[in-house]
Amino acid sequence: MSEQSRPPVVTILGHVDHGKTTLLDFIRKSSVASKEHGGITQAIGAYQVEHEGKLITFIDTPGHAAFEKMRSRGAKVADIAVLVVAIDDGIMPQTTEAIKHIQEAKVPMIVVVNKVDLPGIDKKVQLEKIKKQLSDQKVLVEEYGGDVPLVEVSAKSGTGVDDLLETITLVAEVNETRGDPALPAHAVVIEANLDKFKGPIATLLVRNGTLKKGETILLGGVKSKIRGMFDFSGKAIEEALPSMPVEVLGLEEVPEVGRYIGEDASIKEKADVLNLLERLKQDKTKRLNLVVKADKAGSLEAVEAGLQKFNDSGEEHIKIVFSGTGDINDSDIKLGASSSAIVLGFNVEPVVSAKKLAETEQVLVRTYTIIYELLEEIEDVVESMLKVGAIEEVFGTAQIIAEFPYGKNERIAGCKVLDGQITKGPKIKVVRGEEVVGETKLKSLKKVREEVVRVETGDECGMMFDPQVEFAVGDVLQSFRTL
């Protein structure tokens, strides 16, 4: 199955008391996609609404304590960010912070001016003031020649809400939110807790692929089997398609918010580096952002001077988004998350709360006591960043334990997965000893004669390749991609 249109995932950000929760509540009560299951629960932190026959997924994050710790994550999980601004207050400190997170996440923005029916407000004057404040934050609404829609609403009465839903649908169409249900599920944890009756439970937002009841998933390095799955209205379901939020039961432990299915905590550090480099390779500027902390001003000056040498060629390969003295704190981690930066510490360590926040936000933190070690590691990252195909990410390995003829000219490789997982899609490398004898892709992947999309450690399976490639019993297969 090829890619197809999927519902856009929307998060709502803005300053406290500007009406984010009121707006979400109105949309939920008036436009929910499933009303037949009796009562809508807010427990799973997300829901879907239907507008003119099209679904929209909302992440109900503004009131959650977890989201306060990882505000930038809310924008990065979403396809579209709605920025709520109260007409009487205009741009406030948390509004500015939300704009920064949206811009760093590089997701389309829609500005909603709320409370337009407040008595005693000169709407025309206030709207013009807000548009000017937005332009000061490099947010240009369509009226000012930009591409950011502005919608006027009253979250209390519902005025303008239909216009907002229509605008979300149009923005999603322009940006082509798509997914492939045939792929293995790619999902992120947006809520998680320990229920005294159900045990560990989590709300997963399926970003792509299909998540099925009964399948085994890996969350934070812990394997669990999904024993129950429910949609946002509490209805038991068998599978979840792209953009669908679901509550899952059967987990071995409570996962961290922000974890992805398939992410192994034991290789998290490597994965973070790979993900960082992948983002950098997609960024034409090829620039590495850094937050730098040191024990004293003299040390900080020396580190900054060493880092600036990477820009001697005239191109800005290193950008220090912030530097200062003292231990690495929560603010440093939040800034690292919002600017996709590595946090470097010289003769300092992260405080306890910052360590936990860095794990939640998946911010890479490096500390050093020797300056040349710091510079050498950053040099390695910069060199890898500038080389196309410098790093390979291996998803899984398998060994060929048998071979069988098939048809006139084809062969089936009977394999056992040694570690990780093998899925359709990534390239397959055939390794004999230390020599790579060929590269190919999977034409067919079967487990007990049934076609599957994924096999995991310990599974035995049959593989067919396209194009045909030389292989023999004893060869090792690697599923990989080049960054």
In 34-173, where do the E strands start and end? 46-51, 54-59, 80-86, 109-114, 150-152
Lowest mean pLDDT among 53-57, 222-226, 258-262, 427-431: 258-262
Which domains, and CATH codes, for the chain? Answer: 4-177 (3.40.50.300), 186-263 (2.40.30.10), 266-386 (3.40.50.10050), 392-482 (2.40.30.10)
User: Alpha-carbon distance 230 to 86, whole Å?
Assistant: 35
Question: What are residue 403's phi and psi, to 5 degrees?
Answer: -140, 145
- Region of residue 112 (left: phi > 0; alpha: psi -120 to 50; beta: else): beta
pLDDT band of 32, cuts 50, 70, 90 = low
pLDDT the model gives residue 275? 54
Contact between 153 and 162 under an 8 Å Cβ cutoff? The reply is no
Strands 228-230 and 245-249: antiparallel
C-alpha span between 354 and 341 (Å, rounded): 15
pLDDT at 285: 53
Per-residue pLDDT reduced to its tens digit, 78-102 = 889 999 999 999 998 888 888 887 8
Beta strands in 24-89 (DSSP E): 46-51, 54-59, 80-86
Q: Where are the alpha helices (H) located in 263-408, listed in sequence order? A: 268-282, 297-308, 330-338, 352-361, 371-386
Query: Which pLDDT score is estimated for 91?
Result: 92
Q: What is the pLDDT of residues 389-406, one digit of tens each?
A: 445 678 889 999 999 888
Q: Which residues on adjacent β-strands are paired with residue 7?
A: none
204-221 confidence digits (pLDDT tens): 999 888 999 999 888 866
226-257 pLDDT, tens digit per residue, is: 999 999 888 999 999 999 999 999 998 888 77
- pLDDT tens for 261-281 read 865 444 444 445 555 555 555
Tell me the DSSP string of 178-222: EE-TTSBPEEEEEEEEEETTTEEEEEEEEEESBEETT-EEEETTE
Paired residues of 429 in beta bridges: 439, 478
Q: How crowded is residue 166: how many other Cβ atoms within 10 Å of its Cβ? A: 15
Average pLDDT value for residue range 334-354:
89
